[in-house]
Structure 1
Amino acid sequence: MSGKVVVVTGGTRGIGLGLVRSFVDLGATVVFCGRSAATVEAVAAEIPGTLGVTADVTSRADLENLWDRAVAAFGQVDIWVNNAGRSHARKPLWQIPAAELDEVIDLNLGGLARANAVVLARMAEQGHGAVWNMEGYGSDGMMQSGLTGYGATKRAVTYLTDSTAKDLDAAGLAEKVTVHHLSPGMVVTDLLTHDYTPEEFEKVKKIFNILADKVETVTPWLAQRVLAGGSNGSRVAWLTKGKAARRFATAAFNKRDLFAESAAS
């Protein structure tokens, strides 16, 4: 597994940062990006050996520069993880500020589509590579009020990945260049817990404590399986339906409080 060159978008916080750390721990060479130059520099200093690049993944030019920087530094890109994404305020679609909704759609779907287009073209020229697209709530068709914009983008990510896998197969590239689904499940980050009132959070916290996990629990497992690879169009999923069912079945006997430390602080 070691020795591979991995690019992680949105690698300065949350799951992305956890993946950067985990890939490094597993012996990979890691390039990551973020939109804030100061944050990118801070993470690169914190994790020696990584290359941080300031980039906005909604920009083709920035994506091309990110690829070029990685290749200039390390000769190739073996794995590209499209992790960058964001959510919006938990409101009905028509109440979400226009700029906020536009940014979610452009980043989660537009940015990911552009990244796939840019990176897969470069990997085809290179002769090998794997792209992993990050799924999220809504990817499996589940729905929740207040998450319409975000959920729709993640549902579209699943279609885009499946369809792109078929395109690679039809083009005769799928033996060397592949695209995959990466599904982290519920992970305790700002993306999961934001925009709840204290009363609302007390209610959803019960579900989170059953189904969610911390970044440091999930990302090493995800990174290991991404490095191991898989067939074109395959999925790596942390929270499967079977695992969720077992957790609900044993919830009364297995009390967890994922938020105890934050509450104490």
Structure 2
Amino acid sequence: MRLADKTAIVTGGAQGFGAGIVDKFLAEGARVMVADINADAAESKASEHDNAIPCTVNVADGDSVQAMVDAALSQWGHVDILVNNAGVTHLPAPMETISDEDFDRVFAVNCKSIYLIARALVPHMKARKSGAILNVSSTAGLSPRPNLNWYNASKGWVNVATKTMAVELAPFGIRVNALNPVAGETPLLKSFMGEDTPEIRAKFLATIPMGRFSQPHDMGNAAAFLCSDEAGLITGTLMEVDGGRCI
């Protein structure tokens, strides 16, 4: 019960990696807000657990983000943990062919959301001189693949933002870390690969020394550690949950 009595917001928490993080946090004793743009999915996920509450949020919209933070503070009185997990990608294609709309969406959801939620929640954490923020990045930000250029760049931004946030917020007792998973068994997998066939999967897996994708429970285990008091001296780290992909 390493997260006993902790409160946590997990964006994109209704499915994929986010759902794995939600499940692990609840198993470790936390109270969790399942925040997702898909209202039905958030309701469904939260209904699986006694200590989970749903929240419909568009993380790229400032008013929606503020409403999410206000709802969490109204429910619990404080927020100990924030997991910025919501993310999107564009389909694999040459960099010059990606549309304005896809580019803007990737950076709004993957990058601007971190700024918007920090703007809404960091003052509360500063006042309490306590907090753990975990940004979900990607191996794409460390060892980029061709044809995912702007997605790669957005995750590189997340990695630099994580370190910058960590050094700025450390004097306030707030830790900031990131997870860098390899592609996983989530709804985004087909988007990363372009199409999901046994041949393409085999080619993708051949780049991962341990020979498998990241699973939601892998992310949940890593997130629970980094957000727990056991990681009290760890901040600014970019933990690779990638089966050796970045070696």
Q: TM-score, normalised to structure 2's length?
A: 0.86
Per the alignment, residue 233 of structure 1 pairs with 235
Bigger mean CA deviation after superposition, 228-237 or 148-157: 228-237
Per the alignment, residue 85 of structure 1 pairs with 87
Structure 2 residue 187 is matched with structure 1 residue 190 = yes
Residues 157-236 of structure 1 aligned to structure 2 (within 5 Å): 157-169=158-170, 172-173=171-172, 176-194=173-191, 195-196=194-195, 198=197, 199-207=199-207, 210-227=211-228, 228-231=230-233, 233-235=235-237
Which of residues 125, 128, 140 in structure 2 aligns to 1:126? 128
CA distance in 1, matches of 2:181, 2:30: 20
- Do the aligned partners of 2:177 and 2:226 also contact (CA within 8 Å) in 1? no
1:126-160 per-residue CA deviation (whole Å, 9 max, x = no partner) reads 332121111113322x2211110110000011111
Bigger mean CA deviation after superposition, 194-203 or 101-110: 194-203
Three-state SS of the structure 2 residue aligned to 1:244 is: coil
CA distance in 2, matches of 1:210, 1:18: 20
CA RMSD of aligned residues (A): 2.4
Are the structure 2 counterparts of residues 73 and 103 from structure 1 closer, same or farther at C-alpha, using a change threshold of 3 Å? same
Per the alignment, residue 6 of structure 2 pairs with 4
Structure 2 residue 140 is matched with structure 1 residue 143 = no
Residues 58-97 of structure 1 aligned to structure 2 (within 5 Å): 58-97=60-99
CA distance in 1, matches of 2:241, 2:128: 34
1:37-85 per-residue CA deviation (whole Å, 9 max, x = no partner) reads 2221111212332011101111222222111111111121011111111
Bigger mean CA deviation after superposition, 69-78 or 205-214: 205-214
Three-state SS of the structure 1 residue aligned to 2:175 is: strand
Which of residues 113, 116, 123 in structure 1 aligns to 2:115? 113
CA distance in 1, matches of 2:160, 2:195: 29
1:88-145 per-residue CA deviation (whole Å, 9 max, x = no partner) reads 10011222232222111111011122222322122112332121111113322x2211
CA distance in 2, matches of 1:24, 1:204: 32
Q: TM-score, normalised to structure 1's length?
A: 0.81
- Do the aligned partners of 2:9 and 2:83 also contact (CA within 8 Å) in 1? yes
- Do the aligned partners of 1:88 and 1:147 also contact (CA within 8 Å) in 2? yes
CA distance in 2, matches of 1:98, 1:107: 14
Per the alignment, residue 48 of structure 1 pairs with 50
Three-state SS of the structure 2 residue aligned to 1:234 is: coil
Aligned-pair distance for 1:189? 1.8
- The percentage of aligned residue pairs carrying the same residue is 24
- Do the aligned partners of 1:120 and 1:131 also contact (CA within 8 Å) in 2? no
User: Whose RCO is larger (CA < 8 A, sep 6+)?
Assistant: 2
CA distance in 2, matches of 1:154, 1:59: 19
- Do the aligned partners of 1:184 and 1:222 also contact (CA within 8 Å) in 2? no
- Do the aligned partners of 1:218 and 1:238 also contact (CA within 8 Å) in 2? no
- Which stretches in structure 1 are left out of the alignment for 5+ residues? 249-265
1:192-230 per-residue CA deviation (whole Å, 9 max, x = no partner) reads 343226343342243357152322344234323322333
Three-state SS of the structure 2 residue aligned to 1:178 is: strand
Aligned-pair distance for 1:238? 4.7
Are the structure 2 counterparts of residues 220 and 166 from structure 1 closer, same or farther at C-alpha, using a change threshold of 3 Å? closer
CA distance in 2, matches of 1:221, 1:197: 27
Per the alignment, residue 25 of structure 1 pairs with 27
- Which stretches in structure 2 are left out of the alignment for 5+ residues? none
Equivalent pairs, count: 240
CA distance in 2, matches of 1:157, 1:49: 29
